[in-house]
A and B are shown apart, each in its own frame.
Chain A
Amino acid sequence: MVMISQRNPLSSSTSKMSKLTTSSSELDLDRPNIEDYLPTDSIPQPHAKLRLRDLLDISPTLTEAAGAIVDDSFTRCFKSNPPEPWNWNIYLFPLWCLGVVVRYGILFPGRVLILTIGWIIFLSCYIPVHVLLKGHDKLRKRLERALVELICSFFVASWTGVVKYHGPRPCARPKQVFVANHTSMIDFIVLEQMTAFAVIMQKHPGWVGLLQSTILESVGCIWFNRSEAKDREIVARKLREHVEGYDNNPLLIFPEGTCVNNHYTVMFKKGAFELGATVCPIAIKYNKIFVDAFWNSRKQSFTTHLLQLMTSWAVVCDVWYLEPQNMKPGETAIAFAERVRGIISARAGLKMVPWDGYLKYSRPSPKHRESKQKSFAESVLLRLEEK
């Protein structure tokens, strides 16, 4: 029987959801290409003669399609799982109401106040420093760095962020790049309060964009636009320049390219891994005990997301600074990226999924269909020759 594939590796690996061993076995297989993840005719075909039955039996393809309709690993990455309600009891409910009153009535105004004070302090120091110390670049940079770290600390305090940092603190050295998994834009703030990174981000509209073009420019941030293809070369060049510069802030990249729900990691883009620099992985894992820090950009704006964080009890997370990795001899950038992804996923307890995060915004390329068609066509022709 001609089979397009004997099994769908995606459904078999993700159906055993609880085991971390699945992700490490994927790591062992060291698959760099997305084509390798999708079921193709890699199994040696029984070279029996081609019969009508073989052409009519489209059940493997249909099964794959139905499997995708019923459950697919890509959608799972972006699902925000609602927390279990715990206030359905006669004495828990009033407690919960009291909690709401405290959170919205006491904590929230307090936090807004803290944040406002923080901004006042920041701006009153930053603007003079930026304007007056134009000649003294080194001093200015140092002060700006400290100030950005300060305002990020204020931000984290405004959601009562309880962040535990593990591992050696990043230091500013040339020829190194930091990569982290991405759950929300607050990842950047959580990391920035400890070290003033220069980050590469998508240019956003609104007040976020304003912050990006003023304050974050001073830390050396780089912008890109997801929708512009030509942009990629310019960005790659800027990245390389930044990494090679001596006085630049350490560069932070989120290679997933999009926010994922902190249970999975999607494929890392190879851009960060082909700069010829040491890659220092950072793993971030949020504890959903009080609030889910995943920013589901399809469901809420960043402002709503921040407000949600500010009206919850606390944002709890762990940050691990992991051992710096270098490209092994003979390793391709993609294999390197997948290896680092494996390290980060293992540390943060995330499952690896073989999809490109940008599929959130665009359709898969026709290459995947074509490779399947090619292998089926080849087997048909081959079996036709058999007598």
Chain B
Amino acid sequence: MGNTSSMLTQYDIEEVQEHCNNTFSQQEIVSLYQRFCQLDRNSGGFISADEFLSVPEFAVNLLSQRLFRMVDGLNFKEFVAFLSAFSSRATLQHKVEFIFKVYDFDGNGKVAFSDLLDVLRDLTGQFISEQQRELVLTHVLEEAGYKKDSLLVLSDFTKILGNTGLKMEVEIPVD
């Protein structure tokens, strides 16, 4: 796909749409492309760390580092697929999978206690001691029927998050 050109052809749009399982409309894909080009200031075909962090709203987000590592170096097609979890047309399962991927840092399909601890650390910083964090996590895990050394898989996440009415949607501005 012509990442360096500033115009998308109908073929390109359809390819991207297929890649993201039709979670975005064609108009939304065009808007996302404009945004991608706007962020990718040096037209490298992907958005670099500096370019992402120049968006202050993203830079102050607590999980920006994790998200950035997931989205680093993606070309436009993959960028749209990454954002597809936030579409209103995305299924609940898709959203749960996305959350799982954020936790499963090394991508081995299992989320360990240390992964849970890492995310909790990002969210709470220095305002909870490391010991307290471990205690909190152990407590809620045991209450839910898991042990401290259990490895959570995607189906566990689906079970835990599946029926909570997950709200994870972003509206793509369409001019």
Which A residues form the contact surface with B (CB < 8 A)? Answer: 1, 4, 10-11, 15, 38, 50-75, 79, 355, 359, 363-364, 368-370, 372-374, 376-378, 380-381, 384
Contacts and interface: CB of A to CB of B under 8 A. Distances in A.
A372 B62 contact: yes
A61 B62 contact: yes
Interface in B76-104: 83, 86, 95, 98-99, 102-103
A357 to B, nearest CB: 11
B58 A72 contact: yes
B61 A63 contact: no
A20 B6 CA distance: 33
B1 interface: no
Given A53-B161, A72-B57, A75-B55, A59 B140 contact: no
A224 to B, nearest CB: 23
B57 A373 contact: no
B128 A377 contact: yes
B61 A58 contact: no
19 contacts: A10-B57, A52-B146, A53-B161, A54-B140, A57-B161, A57-B164, A58-B99, A59-B95, A62-B98, A69-B83, A70-B83, A70-B170, A71-B35, A73-B57, A79-B38, A363-B53, A363-B56, A376-B62, A380-B124
Nearest to A79: B38
A62 B102 contact: yes
Interface of B: 32, 35, 38-39, 52-53, 55-64, 67, 71, 83, 86, 95, 98-99, 102-103, 116, 119-120, 123-128, 132, 136-137, 139-141, 143-144, 146, 157, 160-161, 164, 166-173
Nearest to A361: B54
Given A66-B170, A68-B58, A73-B57, A384 B139 contact: yes
A351 B52 CA distance: 24
A69 B127 contact: no
B137 A15 contact: no
Given A378-B127, A380-B128, A52 B38 contact: no
A53 B164 contact: yes
Interface centre among B39, B52, B126, B127 (most CB of A within 10 A): B127
A368 B6 CA distance: 35
The 10 A-B pairs with the shortest beta carbon distances in the complex, nearest first, are: A373-B125, A68-B57, A377-B127, A377-B124, A68-B58, A52-B144, A59-B168, A368-B60, A52-B140, A65-B61
A74 B56 CA distance: 7
B140 A55 contact: yes
A108 B21 CA distance: 54
A68 B64 CA distance: 10
Contacts, number: 155
Contacts of A56: 99, 103, 116, 157, 160-161
Contacts of B67: 62, 65
Contacts of A53: 144, 160-161, 164
B61 A61 contact: yes
A8 to B, nearest CB: 8
A238 B167 CA distance: 53
Contact of A68 (B38, B55, B99, B120): B55
A381 B86 CA distance: 29
A58 B128 contact: no
Interface centre among A52, A63, A359 (most CB of B within 10 A): A52
A52 B157 CA distance: 10
A71 B57 CA distance: 9
A42 to B, nearest CB: 16
B63 A65 contact: yes
Contacts of A69: 35, 39, 52, 55, 58, 71, 83
Contact of B32 (A4, A64, A70, A364): A70
Contacts of B53: 363
Contact of B57 (A4, A54, A64, A381): A64
A377 B140 contact: no
B56 A359 contact: yes
Given A62-B168, A64-B61, A380-B128, 15 more contacts: A50-B140, A53-B160, A62-B63, A62-B99, A63-B86, A69-B55, A69-B83, A70-B83, A72-B58, A73-B57, A74-B56, A363-B53, A369-B125, A373-B125, A373-B126
